[in-house]
Chains A and B, each alone.
Chain A
Amino acid sequence: MSTAGRIVRLAERNRAEVRFVLDGQMRSALAGDTVLTAMLASGHALRCSEFGPEPRAGFCLMGACQDCWIWQEEGPRLRACSTPIVEGMRLRTTPSESWP
């Protein structure tokens, strides 16, 4: 099943829906998705590179490469490949403007 985003769901499709907010927009994912899977189900990237023009979408998925760190609205960052999505999470692909 192709999604609106980068990933294709090949199995495990009968799971409860989870809703979260990304950059102010309501998005939907499935319970058991990582934040990375959830974001790439409706988008093509997680964030932009700080050192180049290109978007990034993770690389190793095992917590080693650190390519998939994104922001939460309340401030702290999280590693998208190793954090499960939770109903009501509020995430950002860019740091908050009020970030010091």
Chain B
Amino acid sequence: MSDASTPKVVIVGAGPAGIRAAATLVEAGLHPMVIDEGHRAGGQIYRRPPAGFVRTPEQLYGSEAGKAGALHALFDRLAEEGRLTHRAGSSVIAMRDGQLHVLGEGGLELVSYDSVILATGASDRVAPIPGWQNAGVYSLGAAQIALKAQGVALGRRIVLAGSGPLLTLVGAQLLKAGADVAAVLDTSSWRQQIRGFSGLAARPLVALRGLTLRAKLGRRYHAGVTLERIEADGQGVAALRWRDAGGRQQHTPCDMIGMGWHLRAETHLADLVGCTFIYDEQWQQWLPKADEMGRAGNGVYLAGDGVRLLGADGAEIAGRLAAAACLSDLGYRAPPASADLRKLERLDLFARGLARAFPWPAAMVRALPGDAVVCRCENVTVAAVHEGADFGSSEANRVKSLSRVGMGRCQGRYCQLAAVELVAARAGCSPDAVGRFRGQAPVRPAPVGAFLREY
């Protein structure tokens, strides 16, 4: 272990960004603590199945097997050699005054830090489809996690809907694994997708790989669709009603729907620790502010999809850069950053191409019927959000107080963007003028017993 004179650096998240940050700190002679909700390091995109599963990295991660394997091996080696402390299966539920509140199997523990690197990643950005509260509707990420970490499909007959690289990828992965994928429905039109082309050309091989996967979907793939309603019976999803690009009504029976529109940065901890947030027009969401290295001030560093949605390759680079910034601020020799910064610029160009090609479905959200559920936690409807906007003001937190949208157990992670879109439409302003929900601790549900101490 490190002695009292070496600075204490804590990394939250053991995905590509967290692992690279940890390795960079270890190389400089520090002993970081890595806190992660997963039982094994890897994050979501390089998520590992439990011990004893037998599929090869090539089967699990396809073209990215080499990268995933290298990250897993690196982290395992550093942990085995005792050069870092790995807190697996633990959630940081609050941050305040240089301390992290960590909820693990043993209960709640306070961990102090001199510097902290937040590598909290992202989850699916979802927009409501009427009926999405029913059993059998999952995020695209969930469909991928079920396949990778459990070897299962979440239904017998699957429809994937939304837009973004994950839509195509999950569809191709499920098909390859032998699942019955009935349709892959993209709300982005071909014309819209071509608009992102100049950016996508920044990484021609990745773009080509995407098109190859798309080709594997064959006639299952439809661009420019409108998603209308999920039908359900007593057991859950029964069918999806949608319109094709030509406006024709379509009805696809299915028992599982995976949905998502690219990614939403996970920013609750950055919010609690006081980061400044800026509305990003391109990504159509609020993102915490950091310099190009990931510095957010006061010993806080941000890396990976939780601050810039560049995907796994970008997260590895951002993790290294944030650790380098942290080292240099602590007076240590930091590895050179210029080559990494150039790589990030190219990845950023590509990511912005993706954002243009596969946009947030603002018009679809604005056209939702009054009885559609916006908040899946508490079944708060579009009509209730409208009522809140009419009664109160067009400020996000006022509408939250009045309608309870964003107050459920997910704390707005899956409804905030849609709710803000609806309020903006009602008030005739832009989503950024509506603001964002304030983050509240604990950022994960925690049992009351965890906060009680015996004296």
**Count of chain B residues near A, Cβ 8 A:** 58
Nearest CB of B to A84, in Å = 7
User: Contact: B53 with A51, CB < 8 Å?
Assistant: no
Closest-by-CB residue of B relative to A11 is B151
Known: A12-B54, A63-B37, A69-B445. Contact between A55 and B410, CB under 8 A? no
User: Contact: B414 with A82, CB < 8 Å?
Assistant: no
User: Contact: A58 with B134, CB < 8 Å?
Assistant: no
CA distance A93 to B97 in the complex (A): 40
CA distance A19 to B242 in the complex (A): 41
User: Contact: B141 with A61, CB < 8 Å?
Assistant: yes
User: Contact: A31 with B142, CB < 8 Å?
Assistant: no
Known: A10-B178, A11-B55, A37-B146. Contact between A62 and B151, CB under 8 A? no
Please, which residues of chain B bring their CB within 8 A of the CB of A57? Answer: 135-136, 154, 236
Please, which residues of chain A bring their CB within 8 A of the CB of B52? Answer: 15, 31-32
A70 within 8 A of B: no
Closest-by-CB residue of B relative to A14 is B54
A73 within 8 A of B: no
A91 within 8 A of B: no
CA distance A66 to B414 in the complex (A): 11
CA distance A82 to B103 in the complex (A): 14
Nearest CB of B to A92, in Å = 17
Known: A8-B179, A10-B177, A45-B235. Contact between A59 and B150, CB under 8 A? no
Interface centre among A10, A34, A46 (most CB of B within 10 A): A10
B137 within 8 A of A: yes
Please, which residues of chain B bring their CB within 8 A of the CB of A31? Answer: 52
Please, which residues of chain A bring their CB within 8 A of the CB of B313? Answer: none
Known: A8-B179, A82-B37. Contact between A51 and B154, CB under 8 A? no
Taking CB atoms and an 8 Å cut-off, the chain A residues in 7-57 that contact chain B are 7-15, 31-34, 37, 40, 44-46, 49-52, 54-57
Closest-by-CB residue of A relative to B50 is A32
User: Contact: B123 with A64, CB < 8 Å?
Assistant: yes
CA distance A69 to B408 in the complex (A): 13
Find B150's partner among A12, A14, A52, A66 (CB 8 Å cutoff): A12
Known: A60-B142, A65-B414. Contact between A37 and B152, CB under 8 A? yes
User: Contact: A64 with B413, CB < 8 Å?
Assistant: yes
CA distance A60 to B444 in the complex (A): 14
Find A7's partner among B49, B134, B152 (CB 8 Å cutoff): B152
Taking CB atoms and an 8 Å cut-off, the chain B residues in 116-158 that contact chain A are 123-124, 133-139, 141-142, 145-147, 149-156
Closest-by-CB residue of A relative to B375 is A51
Find B145's partner among A6, A33, A50, A62 (CB 8 Å cutoff): A62
CA distance A92 to B91 in the complex (A): 24
A100 within 8 A of B: no
User: Contact: B235 with A55, CB < 8 Å?
Assistant: yes
Find B153's partner among A8, A44, A77 (CB 8 Å cutoff): A8
Extra A-B contacts (4), CB below 8 Å, given A8-B179, A61-B142, A69-B445: A44-B235, A60-B123, A61-B139, A67-B377
Closest 9 CB pairs of A and B: A12-B151, A66-B409, A11-B151, A57-B135, A61-B142, A51-B379, A32-B50, A8-B153, A44-B235
